[in-house]
Amino acid sequence: MPEPTPIPDWLGWLPPRLVALDVEATGLAAGDRMVSVGVVALATASLATGRPEIACHHLIFDPGRPSHPAAQAVHGYDDWLLRHQDPAAMHLAALAGILAGADLVVAHNAAFDLAVLDREMAAAGLPAVPAKVYCTMEAYRRRGERGRAALDAVCRRMGLARVGTRHGALEDAWLALRAYLWLQACPVAVARPELTAPSNLRPVPPRPEGPLPPRA
């Protein structure tokens, strides 16, 4: 009878279920709202097989207000598209269930992402994210790495690059996951998922000419 494959040492310090998260918002102020969220959930035991098992979730929302021009330049969603989407409250209970099953939630600049998400949860009458949170940006800084600790800079240090210039929430969640595994010296890479449009994206009517009408 063949002996069981030994468990790699590095797997012992990873949590069983890891959820990487990224939030795009209308801006950086305390009153700004969530525009999109990307989640990549990983069963870390599958890393030992060389075929990591991930589940992806990508959602878009009507934030109820226009994005700051600088924020729109980052996430790429204009107000005409966003005002025809679902409000976040319609999907937050399902999102909360995904996060509640995590042993660790990972995000780059986690303080920002979780602050935005927790405000949306509170507005919908839901509790804040209960899981333990790991910030890859702060962990990168604690390593004493030189230069900036923005996600793009960390990715360059790892030899990764995003597909385009926009910061899509799903891709950024995957990049945060890769940064976490790199920081934990995990030798197994998780392949980039298919970067599909948000699963709840609604079709948008033709954009009117001239300035947009006031929001309803």
Residue-wise pLDDT for 36-67, tens only, equals: 999 999 999 999 888 899 999 999 999 999 99
In angstroms, rounded to a whole number, what is the distance separating the alpha carbons of residues 131 and 104? 6
Q: Which of 190, 205, 198, 206 is closest to 41 using CA atoms? A: 190
Residue 2: band (very low, low, confident or very high) from pLDDT cuts 50, 70, 90: low
Task: Quote the pLDDT of residue 6.
Answer: 66
Most confident of 147-156, 171-180, 185-194: 171-180
For residue 3, is pLDDT > 60? no
* Alpha-carbon Rg for the chain in angstroms: 18
Question: Could you count the other beta carbons within 10 Å of the beta carbon of residue 169?
Answer: 25
The Cα-based distances of 90 to 61, 125, 144, 153 in angstroms read: 9, 12, 42, 35
What is each CA distance from 184 to 27, 133, 140, in whole angstroms? 31, 15, 11
The mean pLDDT value for 168-175 works out to: 96
Mean pLDDT of the chain, nearest integer: 91
What the block records as the tokens of 52 is: 């990591």
Whole-model pTM: value is 0.93
**Which of the pair, 122 or 215, is modelled with greater confidence?**
122
Residue 152 has pLDDT above 70, yes or no: yes
Longest dimension (CA), the chain: 75
Identify the residue whose tokens are 């949590």.
15
Confidence of residue 11 (pLDDT cuts 50, 70, 90): confident
Which position has the token pair 């009507």? 62
Cα of first residue to Cα of last residue in the chain, in angstroms, is: 69
| Local confidence band at 178 (pLDDT 50, 70, 90 cut-offs) | very high
Spatial separation of the C-alpha atoms in residues 58 and 143, rounded to whole Å: 31
Looking at this protein, which amino acid is placed at residue 47? Answer: L
> Residue 15 pLDDT > 90, yes or no?
yes
> Torsions phi, psi of 156, nearest 5?
-60, -40
Whether the pLDDT of residue 4 is over 70: the answer is no
CA atoms within 13 A on the CB side of 116: 22
Please give the C-alpha separations between residue 156 and each of 72, 112, 169, 210, in angstroms, as whole numbers: 24, 22, 18, 41
Alpha-carbon span 94 to 76, nearest angstrom: 25
Q: Alpha-carbon distance 168 to 75, whole Å? A: 6
Q: Which of 3-7, 141-145, 172-176 has the lowest mean pLDDT?
A: 3-7
Which residue has tokens 């969603």?
A: 77
Q: How confident is the model at residue 101 (pLDDT cuts 50, 70, 90)?
A: confident
